[in-house]
Every structure is written in C-alpha cells, then in structure tokens.
Amino acid sequence: MTFNELNLIPAILKALTKENYTTPTPIQEQSIPAVLAGRDLLGCAQTGTGKTAAFSLPIIQLLSQQQSKTHTQRRIRSLILTPTRELALQIAENIGAYSQYTTLRCSAIVGGVSQKAQERALHQGADIIIATPGRLIDLMNQKRIDLQHVQILVLDEADRMLDMGFIHDVKKIIAKIPAKRQTLFFSATMPPEITKMVKALLVNPVKVEIIPESNTVDRIRQSIYMVDKANKQNQLIHILQDKSIASALVFTRTKHGADRVVRDLMRVNISAQAIHGNKSQNSRQLALSNFKSGATRVLVATDIAARGIDIDELSHVINFNLPNIPETYVHRIGRTGRAGHSGVAISFCEMDEIPFLKDIEKLIGKTIPEVKDHPYPMQMTAQPAKMQGSTASAVATKPARPARPAKPKANPPLKPRSEWFRKGSKTSR
Ligand code: AMP
C-alpha cells in the first residue's frame, strides 16, 4: 500500500515525500482510514511503530479541510496529551513537518522551560496543542488556555501517564474538553485502570494492535562499550578499523556532534558523511545515496534526520550517544537486521548516559552484554546516583580532544553494572 491509496490530501502527500516516507507502516494503514472516517480509535502500540503519523496525519487532514471551509479565528481543535517532554517535542516536530504545506499551526506545552514563550504561542493561536499534563493544568488554572473547541483528543502512551502518576491530571483535563469529540487512545499495555478509562472515554472504537518487532530486535547482536566521553571517537575509529564492517549508521545526539564525528573519521581516511537538519535536502539525499551505493562507508545521523531512512542490508548501527527515549534505541537498532538479515548494534555508554541505558534495558527486558576487552575502558568512578542532569556534567572529566587517546589511569575498577542500576535513580522520564 502507498500513502496515495489512503486518500490523503496533496499537502500531506507532499510533506511525506519530503520526509522520505514511501510506505505506510501497519498502524498507519489501519488507523488513518478509521480516523478520517471520524471513528474513535484504540491503538495498542509502542513508539517506533509509526503511531505519531498514524494519528497526526488524519488529524491534520480533518482540521485543514475544515479550515478551508470556515475562516474563523484560530482555535485549539486538537489536543494531544503525552507523558514526557521529549515525546511532546518529538510529536510537535513531526506534526510541524507533516503539516508544513498546510496553514495549520501546532505548539508544544511542556514543563521544565519558561512559560512565557508558550503563552505567546497560545496568544498567537494554535490549531493543535501537544502537551504534558502538568504544564497544561498550570495554564488551565491560570485561564490562559481555552480547550472548549477541542474536537479531537489524543491520549498518547496512556499507560506511561498512569505509571508516572498523571492520571488524575489527565482526568481533570478531559473534564474540561467537550464530551462530543473524537478520541484516539494509545497505550502499549492494558492494565485494569487503563481498560476502565478506555471504556469511559471511547465510543465504539476501532481497535488496532501492533505487536512490537521484538523478534527483529532479538535477532540483532547488541553490545555496550562503557567508555568515557573523551574516548568515544577513538573507540569508534578502533571499531571501524575492522574492514569486515561494510557499512555503519552512526547515531549522535547533536548535529554538531555528527559533523565532529565525520571530521575525525575522514582524518583517518574512513569515508563518512553526515545527515542532519542543518544540511540542505540535496546534500542529505546525496549523503544517503552515497551510503546506499557503498561509496560512503559510514553515515552519521541524528535521530530526526535519520527518520525515513530505509536501508536494506545495513550491517551495523552504532550509537555514539545513547538516546534518552528508550524506544528510540529500539527504533535505531531496528535499522539493521532487516528482511531476515542479522545485524549488529553497538552502543557507547558514557557516565551521564547510564540512566538511559537502564531505561533501555528495562524496555527491551534484558541486559545488553558489555564488551569488557577493549582499548578504552571507562576510567571514571563516580557514583551514578550523582550522575544526572546538570550534576552529571559538573562531575564529568574535562573532555579531551577527540582522536587522542586519554591515558589509561590506574583507577579502581568500576562497580559492576548490576550495582549501579540498583542504586541508580530515575531519569527525567
Ligand atoms: P513513531 O512510532 O511515531 O515515533 O515513529 C518512529 C519513527 O518512524 C519516526 O522517526 C518516524 O519519523 C518514522 N516513520 C513513521 N512512519 C514512517 C513511514 N511511513 N515511513 C518511514 N518512516 C516513518
């Protein structure tokens, strides 16, 4: 099936082409027609299945078709509730991309940042709001947000909102939204409390269940290198010196990080190109086709830019940085091991990323084997309990220049990972 066959409007199809989406994922195939038909939806699916587009594409279509008929003031017509800031921003970014050729506006309302910019965005008007419950409640209490015109409500990762103790806030918010609306409800699991909510909120919903591709993930050989930030580049070069690695997709957290990795690889004659949001569409396309043809051995990407990259027979994925959203890890490594091929996923974990590793292992339900015998073992010995957020960077060692090995020190060995995790505190999720 193609997106054309889903009866999407040209403005959306154009955006999907730009994002390099060619084929709808199963959840998109099943959800888009149902949502376009105005039905409530119950989706049992995790991040990584394409569920964001599954709900946002039909929302964009429904809202923009209305907009062309009426020329009234811009009002919040769709509200998307999601548990974490990262997810909210990711969804806002996706919707921004999918709706770029429409006149719709979307805005994220999340905690942990100043409220001012969000107030301004609300004042200017938004058609779609993606919010975390806490900040939304604050704005509602201050009477700075009007939810009376919401027609489509999305509850994303409802089970996680329950786990994180947001369910009362969520109920309070729903109480302020018109009862006559379309509701799209997503949850990876269905504990009794969630089932109760589903019964209370959804009217004759279409049910879509997507089984996670755990088989694929199981087929991928995963490993972790505990390595100091200062030595990641050396570690990468060391790994890529193995000529049997025909192609590797390397993920970095930032665009600058991606450029830096490319520069340092090129310096030692490993062919590499970066693909990220600061590159023009043409140079992204070129980098991708060079990588696919084998002209470039290493493609270095950020998550956003890697979206839509579809490469069969990719042998290695290397996480230069671990993602803070565990589902992103699953999605990244799922780039290899496709179509029955086996794949290798290598991840570097620096001290600050230990909480992310803990979240990932929790999600995939197993410990990723650690490679102990390598030239750049982690030298830092601080306790992970102190290793979060800004504290982490305060304790981190001064970053050394890449491509220059930090001298191994005679520090006492790190505690076993099992002990870190027992003590490790929660991440921002
Ligand atoms: P999600 O589950 O919505 O977080 O999506 C996971 C990732 O898949 C995101 O990076 C999306 O941009 C990407 N994606 C979603 N749908 C498609 C598609 N039909 N083709 C290619 N990439 C997609």
Residue 406 counted as domain residue: no
Residue 312 counted as domain residue: yes
Nearest Cα residue to atom 22 of ligand 1? 308
Q: Rounded mean pLDDT of the chain?
A: 84
- Give the pLDDT confidence score for residue 121 in this predicted structure: 93
Confidence of residue 20 (pLDDT cuts 50, 70, 90): confident
Residues 335 and 315: their CA atoms lie apart, in Å, by: 9
Q: How many structural domains does the chain have?
A: 2
Residue carrying the six token digits 């490469």:
311
In percent, how much of the chain has pLDDT > 90?
Answer: 55
Ligand 1 contacts CB of residue 47 (under 6 A): yes
Strand order in the sheet with 106-109: 106-109, 128-131, 78-81, 152-155, 182-186, 41-44, 206-209
Nearest Cα residue to atom 20 of ligand 1? 21
Strand order in the sheet with 316-319: 220-226, 343-349, 316-319, 248-251, 298-301, 272-275
Ligand 1 contacts CB of residue 51 (under 6 A): yes
Last residue of a domain, one of 184, 209, 234: 209
Q: Which atom of ligand 1 is found nearest the CA of 51?
A: 3
Output the CA 306–ligand 1 centroid distance in Å: 10
| Average pLDDT value for residue range 293-302 | 92
Residues 274 and 287: their CA atoms lie apart, in Å, by: 7
Residues 389 and 100: their CA atoms lie apart, in Å, by: 33
Phi, psi at residue 341, to the nearest 5°? -75, 155
CA angle at 257 for the pair 253 and 259, rounded to the nearest 5°: 130
Q: Are residues 219 and 205 part of one domain? A: no
- Give the pLDDT confidence score for residue 250 in this predicted structure: 96
Q: Are residues 229 and 143 part of one domain? A: no
SS3 content of the chain, % helix, strand, coil (to 5): 45, 15, 40
Residue 256 counted as domain residue: yes
Could you tell which of 27, 130, 208, 307 is best to mutate to test the pocket of ligand 1, judged by most ligand atoms within 8 Å of the CB? 307
> Which residue segment(s) compose the domain that 36 sits in?
3-209
Could you tell which of 251, 331, 333 is best to mutate to test the pocket of ligand 1, judged by most ligand atoms within 8 Å of the CB? 331
Q: Which atom of ligand 1 is found nearest the CA of 23?
A: 19
Output the CA 241–ligand 1 centroid distance in Å: 32
Q: What is the pTM of this model?
A: 0.59
Q: Are residues 310 and 266 part of one domain? A: yes
**Which residues have CB under 8 Å from 218's CB, separation 6+?**
none
CATH number at residue 245: 3.40.50.300
Residue 126 counted as domain residue: yes
Q: Are residues 265 and 149 part of one domain? A: no
Residue 54 counted as domain residue: yes
Q: Are residues 236 and 205 part of one domain? A: no
Q: What is the pLDDT of residues 333-389, one digit of tens each?
A: 877 766 556 689 999 999 999 999 999 998 888 899 999 889 999 987 544 443 433
Output the CA 125–ligand 1 centroid distance in Å: 27
Q: Are residues 262 and 358 part of one domain? A: yes
**Which residues have CB under 8 Å from 291's CB, separation 6+?**
247, 249, 273, 299, 311
Q: Are residues 251 and 172 part of one domain? A: no
Tokens representing 174?
A: 């729903």
Residue 422 counted as domain residue: no
Q: Which atom of ligand 1 is found nearest the CA of 49?
A: 2
Output the CA 230–ligand 1 centroid distance in Å: 32
Q: Are residues 257 and 302 part of one domain? A: yes
Q: Which atom of ligand 1 is found nearest the CA of 48?
A: 2
Last residue of a domain, one of 152, 181, 209: 209
Closest CA relative to residue 162, chosen from 131, 138, 197, 135? 197
**Residue bearing the bigger pLDDT, 416 or 331:** 331
Q: Which atom of ligand 1 is found nearest the CA of 47?
A: 2
- Give the pLDDT confidence score for residue 311 in this predicted structure: 67
Residue 404 counted as domain residue: no
Cβ contact 103:64 at 8 Å: yes
- Give the pLDDT confidence score for residue 136 in this predicted structure: 97
Q: Which atom of ligand 1 is found nearest the CA of 46?
A: 2
- Give the pLDDT confidence score for residue 186 in this predicted structure: 93
Q: What is the pLDDT of residues 117-138, one digit of tens each?
A: 999 999 999 999 999 999 999 9
Residue 408 has pLDDT above 80, yes or no: no
Q: Are residues 236 and 182 part of one domain? A: no
Last residue of a domain, one of 209, 228, 257: 209
Q: Which atom of ligand 1 is found nearest the CA of 20?
A: 21
Q: What is the pLDDT of residues 63-88, one digit of tens each?
A: 999 865 555 679 999 999 998 887 89
Q: Are residues 200 and 229 part of one domain? A: no
Nearest Cα residue to atom 1 of ligand 1? 50
Q: Are residues 76 and 28 part of one domain? A: yes
Nearest Cα residue to atom 14 of ligand 1? 50
- Give the pLDDT confidence score for residue 211 in this predicted structure: 64
Q: Are residues 141 and 26 part of one domain? A: yes
Residue 413 counted as domain residue: no
Residue 238 has pLDDT above 90, yes or no: yes
Phi, psi at residue 43, to the nearest 5°? -110, 120
Output the CA 95–ligand 1 centroid distance in Å: 12
